[in-house]
Amino acid sequence: MEEINQTPQVANLVHGLREIGYTIDTAIADLVDNSITANSENIDVVFLPEEKKPILAILDDGDGMAKSELIEAMRPATKNPTEFRKPNDLGRYGLGLKTASFSQSKKLTVLSKTKDNDVAIAEWDLDKLIERNEWVLNLLSKEELDFDLPIVQKFYSNTSGTLVVWNGIDKVENNEIAIHTPVITDHLSLVFNRFLSGYNGARKTNIRINNVAVKALDPVDKKNQYTCALESSTFKVNNKKIFVQPYILPSGLKTDTDTFKKNATHLGYKDAQGFYLYRANRLITWGTWWRLVKRHDNYNLTRIEVDIDNCQDSEWSVSVTKSGFSVKPPEGIRDDLRGIVRSSSKTGKGVIRGRGTVKPVNYVTYWNQTKNLDNGQIDFSINKEHPLYVELTGYFDSNQRKIFNLFIADLAKYLPKQDIYRNVMDFPSSTPVAPKSEANPEGEFTQDDIKTLIDKLREKGLKDEQIKKMFEAEGLSEYIGEYFE
């Protein structure tokens, strides 16, 4: 057998990388990914119109990189996509910085520094690569930079961080910047809405474009009292969790005109209906039904959040750009998602046609149920978002919390499912009761118990409708009638 080393032609590969499928808004979003992964609190995106070609600069105050780290970060495909990543890592292939930048500009310059290291500067000049047909990375000093921008001085004044400069954008003309800026703003406000608001444990991050703050656009408008949160579902594929939460947006009759228009997004209600897939709190695809159902006016207010972590890229066919038609759910979950759509659409159809009043129904249960699609079993776990759990663990130090979580994990693991099943079969009409004790020998809930619990939940900010749903979900609705008249 004869072996031949077929090294790619650098010039041809560079031309191919420039056409990988980015638009300017998705390219900028890829750079913001890197800044968020680096624990940045503030990210500035600045367009600088120049006589020849516009310049784009993105500055963050994150961890930054030492010289050796920067050199490695500038390497194309610097990371193995199959390797373990930290939960907050929004990258995948180690290509984003390069491919996103190359798609818009022929010159990429990166300045970075950590708290303990001096400034390092590296640059890719595509014209130079093409001319020499070699991957030649330029390592520069501050004096060798061919631009003098105010944002460079701001970078030097920061304790740590990274500045990315596209010096000479050739995909957008100077007179088009004003057109693209609102598009970029809309894109970032949607894609990073959880980081902008600090929702769901996402690190709170401020993003500005030309010194104007980007505001979070929550596509399901959770803060709206008339948004209806339906029952959530949890699945497992290859032992990896998938969390699904359907929402029905309020109709135009239940909200003001400005809010109704905002919730339509730039897509409009018909194109914005569908699934919203979050990967590690970063929205990567939205407004799609993944060919599970067809678009219909009855679905206009239906939006379904799907949450996955960053170790499920292969299952969901996540691409280099982390967007596009390639992203799709695993085969094993498609029927379940289709069922959720059809169930949710009945509520959404009623809201659209004004049939009565649909109230918010945020379920707060003591137990989570997870369907394992690998074996068809239902797994149970304690709901750590329950307000009583949150309050209780708030009194613990880290070691106490660790021991308590270990206890409840074992409690869930050794749940006597068979005994519960037999009891339900033998006594199908039985009602849950409290454990017997000296203070409560009959094992019944007292009115004082119920009142104390309801008052505590109200103090935690839960609305009466939410509290009633919690009791109903636990089979305790008969105890609460007099408190919600």
pLDDT recorded at residue 290: 94
Residue 39 CA to residue 65 CA, distance in Å, equals: 12
Task: Give the long-range contacts of residues 355-360, CB within 8 A, separation 24 or more.
Answer: 358/228, 358/248, 359/228, 359/465, 360/225, 360/226, 360/227, 360/228, 360/229, 360/463, 360/465, 360/466
- List all residues 6 or more positions away from 436 whose beta carbon is below 8 Å from its beta carbon: 442, 443
Domains of the chain: 10-213 (3.30.565.10), 228-352 (3.30.230), 431-485 (no CATH)
The least confident of 15-19, 134-138, 228-232 is 15-19
Q: Confidence class of residue 359 from pLDDT cuts 50, 70 and 90? A: very low
- List all residues 6 or more positions away from 473 whose beta carbon is below 8 Å from its beta carbon: 363, 364, 365
**Six token digits for residue 245:** 């939460």
- pLDDT greater than 50 at residue 431: no
Task: Yes or no: say if 380 and 369 are a contact pair by the CB < 8 Å rule.
Answer: yes
Instruction: Kindly report, residue by residue over 37-82, the tens digit of the pLDDT.
Output: 999 999 999 988 666 788 999 999 999 999 999 999 998 866 655 5
Residue 314 CA to residue 299 CA, distance in Å, equals: 29
Residue 172 CA to residue 181 CA, distance in Å, equals: 11
- Going by C-alpha positions, the residue among 30, 193, 169 that lies closest to residue 99 is 30
Task: Give the long-range contacts of residues 175-181, CB within 8 A, separation 24 or more.
Answer: 177/47, 177/49, 177/54, 180/24, 180/25, 181/47, 181/209, 181/210
Q: Confidence class of residue 435 from pLDDT cuts 50, 70 and 90? A: very low
Helix (H) or strand (E) holding 341: helix 334-352
Q: What is the mean pLDDT of the chain?
A: 83
- pLDDT greater than 60 at residue 427: no
Beta bridge partners of 372: 236
pLDDT recorded at residue 383: 78
Strands (E), 342-414: 367-372, 378-382
Q: What share of the chain has pLDDT > 90, as a percent?
A: 44
pLDDT recorded at residue 211: 94
Handedness of CA 172, 173, 176, 182 (dihedral sign): positive
Across the range 387-393, mean pLDDT stands at 75
- Going by C-alpha positions, the residue among 252, 231, 226, 259 that lies closest to residue 463 is 226
Instruction: Kindly report, residue by residue over 439-477, the tens digit of the pLDDT.
Output: 455 555 567 777 787 887 777 677 777 777 666 655 566
Instruction: Kindly report, residue by residue over 250-284, the tens digit of the pLDDT.
Output: 988 888 889 999 999 989 999 999 999 999 999 99
The region, left, alpha or beta by phi > 0 then psi within -120 to 50, assigned to residue 116 is: alpha
pLDDT recorded at residue 94: 63
Q: Confidence class of residue 22 from pLDDT cuts 50, 70 and 90? A: confident
Burial class of 101 by CB neighbour count within 10 A (0 to 12, 13 to 18, 19+): buried
Residue 269 CA to residue 287 CA, distance in Å, equals: 9
Across the range 204-208, mean pLDDT stands at 97
